[in-house]
């Protein structure tokens, strides 16, 4: 039932009921009783207060991906007149739990909703969040039964990885390395699955030596390059699980006498701005940052209204730049 139905039943104006429920109007005991009786008669339930202050929890800001995602969320929030506090968890599960518990139970920041970007994928921290407190996971889906009762929005990591690997295959590359992210993250596992599916769909066998797992960092990218170059049958292309890893590969390549893309084609993942600053410009799978931010806030507002949570995976876009070349035939 609506506020207008309550107003008709109580014999008062809709604005009177609305202002009363918001705590903006003090009524006589008689009028208040009429309204409460009308609410009971019409089955009207008081909706949760609108969200005014959002806590955005991110693992770090030194990684350009999280900085760009945080900027997208704060921009979208300000368009909705929402205040945002950005809190850094350092990617540590204990700190994630502490931050979420404080915010959700009113002991920190004064936030009345949380958008949570995890680096651990652990859903156990949701035990600290009251059921009626709006909480949305962004980018990294959380594991566990509690997470199934919360909204999530992220990119379609599997399809994005499949697109990138398939494109490299279409340019003649058959020895393609995948420099993957941490295996305990669902997003990294989805990207690995997309890579593996593309290789198998091309009728090729997977060489486990071409898959390296590590952190999302430039240093890991540089280390991974030195590893794959030691292989007797070296890859001709690399699909990196994040742009920051790809930047590390590109930066380390000259030290090994490797030219990109002449000697090694390279595709990253995320679409961070820094990828267009390196030479040659990085080909990548682009995350829809602005749409992710808007959808996350939509889910927060829906949760505040008591709506059922939804899980949303958004499509990604393959953006090819100068870091990919076709494989030249042997002897050319």
Query: What pLDDT, on the 0 to 100 scale, is given for residue 306?
Result: 86
Per-residue three-class SS string for the chain: CCHHHHHHHHCCCHHHHHHHHCCCCCCCHHHHHHHHHHHHHHCCCCCCCCCCEEEEEECCCCCHHHHHHHHHHHHHHHHCCCEEEEEECCCCHHHHHHHHHHHHCCCCCCCCEEEECCCCCCCHHHHHCCCCCCEEEECCCCCCCHHHHCEEEEECHHHHHHHHHHHHHHCCCCCEEEEECCCCCHHHHHHHHHHHHHHHHCCCCCCHHHEEECCCCHHHHHHHHHHHCCCCCCCCEEEECCHHHHHHHHHHHHHHCCCCCCCCEEEEEECCHHHHCCCCCCEEEECCHHHHHHHHHHHHHHHHCCCCCCEEEECCEEECCCCCCCCCCCCC
Are both 205 and 312 inside the same structural domain? no
Q: Identify whether 220 is part of a domain.
A: yes
Q: Which tokens is 287 given?
A: 């995350």
Q: Identify whether 255 is part of a domain.
A: yes
Mean pLDDT for 215-229 is 96
Mean pLDDT for 34-41 is 88
Are both 214 and 265 inside the same structural domain? yes
Q: Identify whether 331 is part of a domain.
A: no
Helix axes 289-304, 64-79, angle to 10 degrees: 50
CATH of the domain at 96: 3.40.50.2300
Q: Identify whether 325 is part of a domain.
A: no
Q: Identify whether 234 is part of a domain.
A: yes
pLDDT at 331 over 50: no
235-263: pLDDT as tens digits: 999 999 999 999 999 999 999 999 999 99
- According to DSSP, the β-strands at 53-58 and 237-240 are unpaired
Domain that holds residue 5: 1-29+40-46
Q: How many domains does the chain have?
A: 3
Are both 146 and 161 inside the same structural domain? no
Q: Identify whether 327 is part of a domain.
A: no
Cα 25 to Cα 166: distance, rounded to the nearest angstrom = 62
Are both 275 and 292 inside the same structural domain? no
Look up the pTM and report it. 0.82
Q: Identify whether 332 is part of a domain.
A: no
Percent above pLDDT 70 for the chain = 95
107-166: pLDDT as tens digits: 667 889 999 999 999 999 999 898 889 999 999 999 999 999 999 999 999 999 999 999
Are both 115 and 61 inside the same structural domain? yes
Rounded mean pLDDT of the chain?
Answer: 92
Strand-pairing partners, residue 5, are none
CA-based radius of gyration for the chain: 25
Query: How does residue 234 score in pLDDT terms, banded at 50, 70 and 90?
Result: very high
Are both 187 and 91 inside the same structural domain? no
Are both 221 and 299 inside the same structural domain? no
Are both 161 and 283 inside the same structural domain? yes
Walk across the sheet containing 211-213 and list its strands. Answer: 211-213, 176-180, 237-240, 265-270, 283-286, 317-319
Are both 162 and 115 inside the same structural domain? no
Are both 20 and 129 inside the same structural domain? no
Are both 192 and 76 inside the same structural domain? no
261-277: pLDDT as tens digits: 999 999 999 999 999 99
Q: Identify whether 245 is part of a domain.
A: yes
Are both 259 and 308 inside the same structural domain? no
């Amino acid at each position: 039932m609506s506020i207008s139905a309550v107003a008709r039943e109580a014999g008062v104006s809709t604005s009177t009921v609305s202002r009363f429920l918001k705590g903006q109007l003090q009524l006589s005991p008689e009028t208040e009783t009429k309204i409460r009786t009308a609410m009971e008669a019409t089955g009207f339930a008081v909706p949760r207060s609108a969200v005014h202050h959002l806590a955005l929890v991110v693992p770090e800001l030194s990684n350009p991906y999280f900085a760009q995602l945080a900027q997208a969320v704060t921009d979208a929030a300000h368009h909705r007149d929402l205040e945002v506090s950005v809190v850094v968890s350092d990617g540590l599960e204990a700190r994630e739990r502490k931050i979420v518990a404080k915010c959700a139970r009113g002991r920190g920041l004064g936030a009345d909703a949380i958008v949570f970007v995890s680096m651990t994928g652990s859903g156990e921290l949701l035990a600290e969040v009251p059921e009626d407190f709006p909480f949305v996971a962004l980018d990294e889906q959380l594991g566990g039964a509690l997470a199934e009762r919360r909204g999530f929005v992220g990119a379609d990591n599997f399809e994005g990885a499949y697109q990138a690997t398939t494109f490299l295959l279409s340019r003649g590359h058959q020895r393609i390395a995948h420099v993957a992210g941490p295996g305990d993250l669902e997003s990294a596992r989805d990207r690995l699955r997309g890579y593996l599916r593309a290789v198998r769909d091309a009728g090729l066998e997977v060489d486990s030596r071409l898959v390296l797992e590590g952190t999302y960092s430039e240093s890991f990218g540089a280390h991974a390059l030195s590893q794959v170059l030691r292989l007797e049958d070296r890859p001709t292309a690399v699909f990196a699980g994040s742009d920051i890893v790809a930047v590390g590969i590109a930066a380390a390549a000259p030290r090994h006498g490797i030219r990109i893309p002449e000697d090694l084609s390279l595709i990253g993942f995320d679409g961070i701005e820094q990828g267009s600053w390196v030479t040659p410009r990085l080909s990548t799978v682009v995350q829809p940052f602005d749409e992710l931010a808007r959808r996350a806030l939509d889910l927060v507002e829906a949760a505040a209204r008591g709506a059922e949570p939804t899980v949303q995976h958004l499509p990604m876009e393959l953006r090819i730049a100068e870091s990919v070349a076709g494989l030249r035939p042997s002897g050319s």
